[in-house]
Amino acid sequence: MGGGGFSMDDPLLDRFVLDLVDSPSPKVCFVPTASGDSPGYVDKFCAAFTAYGAQPSVLSLFYREVDNIVEFLGTQDAIYVGGGNTVNMLKIWEIHGVDEAMRAAWQGGVVLAGLSAGANCWFDAFTTDSYHVGGADPAVGLGLLAGSFSPHHSSEPARRPAFAKLIAEGTLPAGYACDDYAAIHFSGDAHQAITSRPGAAAYRVSPGEGDTFDEVQLTAAYLG
């Protein structure tokens, strides 16, 4: 998700995630590392997903209570990664072995989801404001999905031009971008754009001729 879900009072994208799981009461683990395990953020997630009929849990790394993270994440139906500082999050994940635990969960068929930092992390590379307020700098992700990603594509002024420039010059590989209230569902070699608000969109951005780029809006399924 480029942005949306429970933190933006957007239940449609969250319910789409839950519908990917064949369970009437799916187990969903929230990973709020990028926000420093913000208690208010955790409370909002748990309240929302309880109301959705899910069984929420939390993997906290600043107040760690889970011993075997690989086993814990592997027993979930879905893992939902929150927004915040992507670069800090990935470094903390590396220290605690969450990066490899995520890979194992993914290989085991657990649904992986998230917004902003929680979308950036799955790709080979992404743009982030982790280094500079209002910035859109390149950084390296987990590489579970090929290519690059840009969240908040139309709502934060620096994102769109920076992503285009980085792809045009070859600093980032071709990739995808999502507005707030837009997402892309990847399954095997297939992908489908979805939106929860009119006007939201997802895009494929690739190098063009010379130092140019091509941005193509993806055909999206509207959930509203």
Instruction: With respect to residue 174, please indicate whether it lies within any of the assigned structural domains.
Output: yes
Query: For this structure, is 23 an active site residue?
Result: no
Range of the domain at 86: 6-222
Contact indicator for 165, 177 with CB cutoff of 8 Å? no
Instruction: With respect to residue 23, please indicate whether it lies within any of the assigned structural domains.
Output: yes
CATH number for the domain that contains residue 92: 3.40.50.880
So what's the pLDDT on residue 224? 93
So what's the pLDDT on residue 209? 87
DSSP 8-state symbol, 218: P
Instruction: With respect to residue 16, please indicate whether it lies within any of the assigned structural domains.
Output: yes
Q: Closest Cα partner for 139 from 162, 157, 105, 110?
A: 162
Contact indicator for 159, 165 with CB cutoff of 8 Å? no
In the chain, the number of structural domains is 1
Query: For this structure, is 96 an active site residue?
Result: no
Amino acid at 158: A
So what's the pLDDT on residue 135? 74
So what's the pLDDT on residue 210? 82
So what's the pLDDT on residue 136? 86
Residues with pLDDT less than 50, the chain? none
Amino acid at 82: G
Question: Residues 116, 130, 150, 154: which is the catalytic one?
Answer: 116
Question: Residues 152, 153, 154, 196: which is the catalytic one?
Answer: 152
Instruction: With respect to residue 197, please indicate whether it lies within any of the assigned structural domains.
Output: yes
So what's the pLDDT on residue 133? 81
DSSP characters over 67-95: S-HHHHHHT-SEEEE--S-HHHHHHHHHH
d(CA 20, CA 15): 9
Instruction: With respect to residue 64, please indicate whether it lies within any of the assigned structural domains.
Output: yes
Instruction: With respect to residue 1, please indicate whether it lies within any of the assigned structural domains.
Output: no
Amino acid at 34: A
